[in-house]
Amino acid sequence: MSERVLELQGVKFHRGDKQILAEVDLEVRAGEHWALLGPNGAGKSTLLSFCGAREFPSRGTVDVLGRRMGRVAISELHREIGHVNPRHPLDVALSIRQVVLTGLTGTIDLPPRWEPSPEQLARADRLVAGIGLADRSASRWPVLSQGERGRALVARALIGQPRLLLLDEPTTGLDLAAREQLLDTLDALAHEEPDVATVLVTHHLEELPESTTHAVLLAHGRILAAGPVAEVLTSQAVSAAFAHPIEVRHDEGRWSARALRHGRGLRA
């Protein structure tokens, strides 16, 4: 059995008097690719913050990469976790190559007097080529499309050779073509880095890569279903999570969903 990368047991989280998560249990193993879905306010971002060792639970235990939060230096964990955030707050006109290199320093800009090694430069160039942007490597952030930025952020997250990759709504703001290019990049990652585990947050089934292996449906801070993706993403379960009749389809590796008109029944 593959190595356990994440384990949450009995996790609860409160912010003030408001309960955000209640009794969450989740286990993710190396090489698995999880989708985390649910309506707005379900607790997805909070759950992802536990996966990324950026938030402590009010109650329960969180083990990330074999180490328990509260008993390990968080900075140690962060070096082994890649995080793709489409709202990356970059104001400096770095090139794609430079943006990818900031994944090594964990900074937004390149630190003064820091110089990457020849090996690190070579890895950055391989990653830029792998996301299909080799001919744009020197292009600056302000002139990049949203799709190019999204792919660059995936390469940035991977340069530190993480064991866990977290993707927080990575297709936000992308048009159809850019979305498909990014999903192709994630599918290629599943083949090229078979031991890396991923957790992807989204509202939309259409934004799931074909490589998705598992799913979590979250609503009102509770997990309604978790496990192999085909067992979780049923019409009944998705309808329950979103409190609306929804028909789920799976065709040629891709998922889709549509709201049903009043009076139409659900299929499994």
Tens of pLDDT, residue by residue over 14-55, are 988 888 998 899 999 999 999 999 999 898 989 999 999 888
Query: Can you give the pTM of this predicted structure?
Result: 0.89
Tens of pLDDT, residue by residue over 139-183, are 999 999 888 998 999 999 999 999 999 999 988 888 899 899 889
Q: Is the pLDDT of residue 2 over 90?
A: no
Q: Residue 39's pLDDT is what? A: 92
Q: Is the pLDDT of residue 134 over 70?
A: yes
* Domain boundaries of the chain, sorted by first residue: 1-80+163-227, 87-161
Please report the DSSP string for the chain in residue order: -PPEEEEEEEEEEEETTEEEEEEEEEEEETT-EEEEE--TTSSHHHHHHHHTT-S--SEEEEEETTEETTSS-HHHHHTTEEEE-TT----S--BHHHHHHHHHHTSSSPPTT----HHHHHHHHHHHHHTT-GGGTT-BGGGS-HHHHHHHHHHHHHTT--SEEEEESTTTT--HHHHHHHHHHHHHHHHHSTT-EEEEEES-GGG--TT--EEEEEETTEEEEEEEHHHH--HHHHHHHHTS-EEEEEETTEEEEEEPPTTPPP--
Q: Residue 12's pLDDT is what? A: 92
How much is the mean pLDDT over the chain? 90
CATH architecture designation of domain 1-80+163-227:
3-Layer(aba) Sandwich (3.40)
How many percent of the chain have pLDDT more than 90?
62
